[in-house]
Amino acid sequence: MLASVAAVLALIDAGEQPDRAQLKVAVKDSLVLLVERAPGRSVEVRIPPFAAVQAIPGATHRRGTPPAVVETDPVTWLQLCTGALDWAEACRTGRVRASGERSDLSPWLPLTA
């Protein structure tokens, strides 16, 4: 796994709160890896307030509202990236909001470096 992601999750596991800069770096690093592993522009993955990317093979989105959107908070995203949280569980409990065709990211998660 990416060092930045591992460092943030280690802090959380130890009961500490990572600072905003650490979260931002970890989220951005992990999204870069997602785009490398699942290139495309059919799904917009949003991790506010830090980043949003378009990934996943399929129909290309260029303007307006994307046909598929995935949105979650930074900690949930990082847990999904490492396998600490299961995609189906995150969706079922409302920690991930996913809509549209191809918005199921389970084929690409967890990410491994």
CATH number of residue 30's parent domain:
3.30.1050.40
- Kindly state whether residue 105 falls inside one of the protein's structural domains: no
- Kindly state whether residue 93 falls inside one of the protein's structural domains: yes
pTM here is: 0.92
Contact 26, 74 (CB under 8 A): yes
- Kindly state whether residue 56 falls inside one of the protein's structural domains: yes
- Kindly state whether residue 87 falls inside one of the protein's structural domains: yes
Could you list the residue range(s) of the whole structural domain that residue 51 is in? Answer: 3-99
Contact 58, 42 (CB under 8 A): yes
Q: Give me the pLDDT at residue 54, please.
A: 93
113 band by pLDDT with thresholds 50, 70 and 90:
low
- Kindly state whether residue 106 falls inside one of the protein's structural domains: no
- Kindly state whether residue 85 falls inside one of the protein's structural domains: yes
